[in-house]
Amino acid sequence: MADAGGATVAFLWLYIVYCNVFKIAALLFSVASIVASETKDFAFHAGNPISQPATAKDLRYLLYDVNPPEGFNLRRDVYIRMASLVKTLRKEGDWVLVLPPWGRLYHWQSPDIHQVRIPWGEFFSVTSLQANVPVIEYEEFIAESGGPFVDQVLVLQHYAEGWSDGTWEEKVDERPCIERLMYSKDKQGYYRGWFWGYEETRAINVTCLSAQGHASVLAPFMQSNITATSVMLDRAETVLHDHYAGKDYWDTRRSMVFAKHLRIIGDDFRAKYLNSTDEKDHTDYKEDWRLIKAKLGSAKGGPYLSVHLRRKDFIWGHREDVPSLKGAVKKIRSLMKKHVLDKVFVATDADEEELAKLKRMLPEMVRFEPTWEDLDLLKDGGVAIIDQWICAHARYFIGTSVSTFSFRIHEEREILGFDPKTTYNRFCGDSEKECEQPTHWKIVY
Ligand SMILES: Nc1nc2c(ncn2[C@@H]2O[C@H](COP(=O)(O)OP(=O)(O)O)[C@@H](O)[C@H]2O)c(=O)[nH]1
Ligand SMILES: *[C@@H]1O[C@H](CO)[C@@H](O)[C@H](O)[C@H]1NC(C)=O
Ligand SMILES: *[C@@H]1O[C@H](CO)[C@@H](O)[C@H](O)[C@H]1NC(C)=O
Ligand SMILES: *[C@@H]1O[C@H](CO)[C@@H](O)[C@H](O)[C@H]1NC(C)=O
Ligand SMILES: [Mg+2]
């Protein structure tokens, strides 16, 4: 089937080389001033000890990490919770969110590819994130805060006793650690741990914190009981969204703009193989997410059906709500007929064996299949984003039940202004005659 296109990849090489040169220059000449001049007033940014010596001593850093087995798209959701917490913290004090490098994800199994210590800039537009809340990459944190040290790690956990007398209440308490601590003391008395693959990073203190409630339930404790400059929350997925699908949720979600090089590759692929361009499809995009406010139903989408077919761990448990390949293909054909679409783009994590079977049953399917060289540059995370971007631009989308990968596509389509009927669809299991369809979450601007 289709490859990513040699010219695009050559362009990408230049782009990444350019980015790396830029990154080094930025570190040498002070990150903030360059970012500021590049983005003018587009982004506000973290305080900077060089340009703002008066506030430097008050600057505090929030770092976080997520339970190792969690995948890319749940991690994107946890980012939204932490951004919300930082907004709350910033009501009292100059807090900055440090972006946890990507790596060692269970699903990122492509062999021979270096997939740790990946900065957010490889997947997302960091200036777009900064227009929502001050964020910095981890390496900027090291450079800015004086070295690879985290003052205080708080490992979040639930309450050992569960909900006391069955009533839910929001609370936070320092408690002994329930699970085995994933940090150990070295000879110098510092704590060593995973720290996103940065072996030289050490924590000065690690304690456990039982927390129950929304992300911002942590704010009073962090403001009053902790004096450390840099505070890392481990197991950050333990806390809930402050207000799921509210204005603040959507501000943060809209700011999570995919990195430009990934969007360009996705757009080139759409044009080349799917006869799809923003102009024809009414999916115009603006670099500044704050200017995007598409009316529901205004996006038409490219002349293809898009499908997210989640397999692997979703079928190992023989879940009732996930179809067999045969069931999925039957549904795909009926949707193509109903919507008069002769092309189908398939995003899937199916293994080799299932993929071969799917190709036999659905020979006309179009997939984004990177070469090894492409993959080496884009990484599994970049390929997943390109798949999501192409799915997001189709005239009609159908995803897999309770997959966060599919949920993120719903949101992307909501931002682009698709009619909800073309977005909030999922495959039913073979034994389900009808099944409950995903919820429509409307953007609050
Ligand atoms: N490229 C690509 N990767 C996928 C696809 N579906 C799943 N994956 C991979 O599998 C992971 C699934 O984990 P996650 O993001 O947590 O989504 P969820 O488990 O479906 O809720 C993704 O992050 C990708 O690495 C797909 O359609 N295309
Ligand atoms: C924070 O400190 C105050 C005052 O010392 C104390 O009453 C409170 O219990 C502490 N909070 C937590 C969560 O430990
Ligand atoms: C570690 O942090 C806890 C919680 O803030 C504090 O009670 C304790 O004194 C700290 N230990 C050291 C050695 O700083
Ligand atoms: C692409 O789409 C346009 C309509 O938007 C159509 O006129 C044209 O024939 C299509 N090209 C191909 C190759 O399908
Ligand atoms: Mg997952």
Q: What is the pLDDT along the chain (445 residues), one digit of tens a residue?
A: 344 444 444 444 444 444 444 443 433 333 333 333 333 334 434 444 444 444 456 899 999 999 999 999 999 999 999 999 999 999 999 999 999 999 989 888 887 888 999 999 999 999 999 999 999 999 999 999 999 999 999 999 999 988 777 788 999 999 999 999 999 999 999 999 999 999 999 999 999 999 999 999 999 999 999 999 999 999 999 999 999 999 999 999 999 999 999 999 999 999 999 999 999 999 999 999 999 999 999 999 999 999 999 999 999 988 999 999 999 999 999 999 999 999 999 999 999 999 999 999 999 999 999 999 999 999 999 999 999 999 999 999 999 999 999 999 999 999 999 999 999 999 999 999 899 999 999 999 9
Closest residue by Cα to atom 12, ligand 3, is 205
Q: Is 312 in the pocket of ligand 1 (CB under 6 A)?
A: no
Closest residue by Cα to atom 2, ligand 4, is 275
Q: Is 387 in the pocket of ligand 1 (CB under 6 A)?
A: yes
Q: How far is the CA of 207 from the centre of ligand 3 (A)?
A: 7
- Name the residue of 275, 283, 364, 366 to mutate for ligand 4: max ligand atoms within 8 A of Cβ: 275
Query: Which bound ligand lies closest to the C-alpha atom of 282?
Result: 4
pTM: 0.89
- Name the residue of 106, 265, 378, 405 to mutate for ligand 1: max ligand atoms within 8 A of Cβ: 405
Closest residue by Cα to atom 3, ligand 4, is 275
- pLDDT reported for residue 110: 83
Query: Which bound ligand lies closest to the C-alpha atom of 369?
Result: 1
Binding-site residues, ligand 2, Cβ < 6 A: 172-174, 221, 224-225
- pLDDT reported for residue 147: 96
Respond yes or no: is residue 70 known to be catalytic.
yes
Q: For every residue of the chain, which 3-state class applies, written as one string?
A: CCCCCHHHHHHHHHHHHHHHHHHHHHHHCCHHHHHHHHHCCCCCCCCCCCCCHHHHCCCEEEEECCCCCCCHHHHHHHHHHHHHHHHHHHHHCCEEEEECCECCCCCCCCCCCCCCCECHHHCECHHHHHCCCCEEEHHHHHHHHCCCEEEEEEEEECCCCCCHHHCCCCEEEECCCCCCCCCEECCCCCEECCHHHCCCCEEEEEEEEEEECEHHHHHHHHHHCCCCCEEEEECHHHCECCCCCCHHHHHHHHHCCECHHHHHHHHHHHHHHHCCCHHHHCCCCCCCHHHCCCCCCCCCCEEEEEEEECCCHHHHCCCCCCCCHHHHHHHHHHHHHHCCCCCEEEEECCCHHHHHHHHHHCCCCECCCCCHHHHHHHHHHHHHHHHHHHHHCEEEEEECCCCHHHHHHHHHHHHHCCCHHHCCCECCCCCCCCCCCCCCCCCCC
Q: How far is the CA of 207 from the centre of ligand 2 (A)?
A: 15
Q: How far is the CA of 409 from the centre of ligand 1 (A)?
A: 11
Of ligand 3's listed atoms, the one at least distance from the Cα of 152 is 2
Q: Which amino acid makes up residue 118? A: I
Q: Is 202 in the pocket of ligand 1 (CB under 6 A)?
A: no
- pLDDT reported for residue 38: 34
Closest residue by Cα to atom 14, ligand 3, is 205
